[in-house]
Structure 1
Amino acid sequence: MSESSNEITQFEVGDILSGTVVKVEDKQVLVDIGYKSEGIVPISELSNLHIEQASDLVKENDILTLQVKKMEDDEIILSKKAVDAEKSWDSLEKSYENNEVFETEIKEVVKGGLVVDVGLRGFIPASLVETYFVEDFADYKDKKLTVKIVDLDKEQNRVILSHKDVVQDETKQQKQKVLQSLEQGQVLEGVVQRLTSFGVFVDLGGIDGLVHISQLAHEHVEKASDVVSEGDKITVEILSVDRDNERISLSRKKTLPGPWSNIQDRVSKGDVLEGTVKRLVNFGAFVEVLSGVEGLVHISQIANRHVGTPQEVLEVGQQVKVKVLDVSEKEERMSLSIKELEQEQEAAEFKQYEKDEDQSGFQLGDFIGDKLNKYK
């Protein structure tokens, strides 16, 4: 047995030793381990990741900690990646147990996901990269992502990570933070996320609230898209917060000037307006004179004669002219009259009749006067 052979027998598979790189070849590295026979580190044992050539990772005079993988005759096959992996398992297990979030760089984009270096080869499946679908992962190479370990199996040498879970956790935390900060009566700005048949969902900065269709505007809204669009920034008031069920009711209507706001600047006592009969009740008729503003024509003010029921004279949808008797913004009330307009019309017609009579009488006198003068 040769001297080198004697020396080799002093090593056992699994031993950890230190060596200095003496030569870097394309597919392997030669390491001085203190004996005549240099140790060989094949490129496949240099890293847990794929590398094209050994010089991508090490250079001459680097000191490496290595594990004996195999002994064949005068050759000792060594592994750097086995040592790196063993070192990493302890920290990875702790990280997994503590549900830690850490940053890692994407080293490779492969079919089905992304490969990272976490001391050994870690894998982020495509389904765990983002909360949304990604068509092409090419741009992710060399990008840093925050991740957490979702599956760890030392026997299988498997490390599965997720960026999606980190994003979802952050979203959940933000949601709770916002939810706890909301109070009834608060006025906030939000972004319209979704339109439905019953209203719109508005993002308040991490959590959605619902503006029911009846709370979109002061006037009746047929469909939400008549008032808002996705992506619109709108101001809303919080009507209620149900923290247990994470439900928030909102109103856009309450933040808008009401139809009665500054009504006295737009409508004054004595004004004549045109309106639409909206409702008939036993004591009169409600007439809409402005959008969202209805006034009451009391039954006694419907016509210039006795009226038994409003239906005798008016019908819903009918266009009518009304005179404003009184208006109050505070009480959101307006008194209207059709009768006064009829009386004024009759008075005007009578005056015109009298005027016409006077004119015709005057003309007759002139005519008679002219005739009389001829006989003088």
Structure 2
Amino acid sequence: MLSRDRARREAAWDKLEAEFANSSRVEGVIFGRVKGGFTVNLSGAVAFLPGSQVDIRPVRDVAPLMDIPQPFQILKMDRRRGNIVVSRRAVLEETRAEQRSGLIQSLAEGQVITGVVKNITDYGAFVDLGGIDGLLHVTDLSYRRVGHPSEMIAIGDSVTVQIIRINRDTQRISLGMKQLETDPWEGVGAKYPVGAKFMGRVTNITEYGAFVELEPGIEGLVHVSEMSWTKKNVHPGKIVS
């Protein structure tokens, strides 16, 4: 009695064990769904693809990925038990890391680049620069006071930024928008000389005084002791708002 199917499986296992030892990628086809994941045909040997290893981000619809040859990484295999576990996510992460490394080498500090706002947090926004993200800190959005990044930008916006710092070891990039504008503090001494009177807008109130904006990006502190000759020991909020 002969078995062609078993011969294919044995040959596939021999090849897969050699590729697993070399940490090489293998080609396979997702062909079925099982509890917790999917089944993958690796040239005759059947492997298990956990749901968490399908993609970098959660995938709702796996149908477009099925029945097409694609690379996988073998995470573990046990020939005696006939058990193989593979990952598509590991391949994507490795490819992404290679792309990030290549892209970060092409960037330079001081370079002006256009990106897309990917995510917004309290402390800033992450901008996609075409395969690698950079952090646009809230303090580098504008010279004027910005309470939250969403006051100036929104997810999906295309923004022009300048690369402030690049850490090639950690692959972190710091970005700025205000650096593309003229610093309002340049020549501020001549524009606002001591003793001159100006109208301003109260932007913030603290226990010790109030901050007044003379123009976007330039604020001055009115100390509580400089607010009134007669109202002593009064909270600044009682005098201005």
The bucket for the TM-score relative to the shorter chain is 0.7 to 0.9
Say whether 1:106 aligns with 2:30: yes
Partner of 1:275, secondary structure, is coil
Q: What residue is the counterpart of 1:91 in the other structure?
A: 15
Q: 1:81 to 1:238 in 2, by over 3 A?
A: same
TM-fit CA distance, 1:156? 1.2
TM-fit CA distance, 1:149? 1.4
CA contact (8 A) 2:30 2:66 kept: yes
Q: What residue is the counterpart of 1:188 in the other structure?
A: 113
CA contact (8 A) 2:144 2:218 kept: no
Listed as ranges, the gaps of 5+ residues in structure 2 are 192-196, 203-211, 220-225, 230-235, 237-241
Q: Which of 275, 293, 300 matches 2:199?
A: 275
Aligned residues: 211
TM-fit CA distance, 1:311? 7.4
Report which structure shows greater RCO (CA 8 Å, sep ≥6).
Answer: 2
Say whether 1:79 aligns with 2:3: yes
Distance 2:17 2:218 in 1: 69
Deviation beyond 6 Å, 4+ runs, structure 1: 310-313
Q: What residue is the counterpart of 1:219 in the other structure?
A: 144
1:254-288 Cα shifts (integer Å, max 9, x gaps): 12465599xxxxx9xxxxx973278xxxxxxxx96
TM-fit CA distance, 1:225? 0.6
CA contact (8 A) 1:193 1:200 kept: yes
Partner of 2:105, secondary structure, is helix
Distance 1:219 1:148 in 2: 50
Instruction: Give the partner amino acid of 1:244.
Output: D
Q: What residue is the counterpart of 2:40 in the other structure?
A: 116
CA contact (8 A) 1:275 1:290 kept: no
Q: 1:238 to 1:136 in 2, by over 3 A?
A: closer
Q: 1:100 to 1:224 in 2, by over 3 A?
A: same
Partner of 2:27, secondary structure, is strand
CA contact (8 A) 1:109 1:137 kept: no
Listed as ranges, the gaps of 5+ residues in structure 1 are 1-67, 69-77, 262-266, 268-272, 279-286, 295-309, 317-376
Q: Which of 104, 113, 129 matches 2:54?
A: 129
Q: What residue is the counterpart of 2:205 in the other structure?
A: none
Partner of 1:245, secondary structure, is coil
1:84-106 Cα shifts (integer Å, max 9, x gaps): 11111221112212222243222
Q: What residue is the counterpart of 2:206 in the other structure?
A: none
Q: CA RMSD for the aligned pairs?
A: 3.4
Distance 2:159 2:64 in 1: 35
Distance 1:288 1:225 in 2: 21
CA contact (8 A) 2:201 2:214 kept: no
Instruction: Give the partner amino acid of 1:254.
Output: Q
Q: What residue is the counterpart of 1:163 in the other structure?
A: 88
Q: What residue is the counterpart of 2:100 in the other structure?
A: 175
CA contact (8 A) 1:192 1:233 kept: yes
Q: What residue is the counterpart of 1:206 in the other structure?
A: 131
CA contact (8 A) 1:81 1:120 kept: no
Distance 1:277 1:122 in 2: 67
Distance 2:64 2:110 in 1: 45
TM-fit CA distance, 1:139? 4.4
Say whether 1:245 aligns with 2:170: yes
Instruction: Give the partner amino acid of 2:35.
Output: K
* Identical amino acids, percent of aligned pairs: 35
Distance 1:256 1:143 in 2: 50
CA contact (8 A) 2:36 2:50 kept: yes
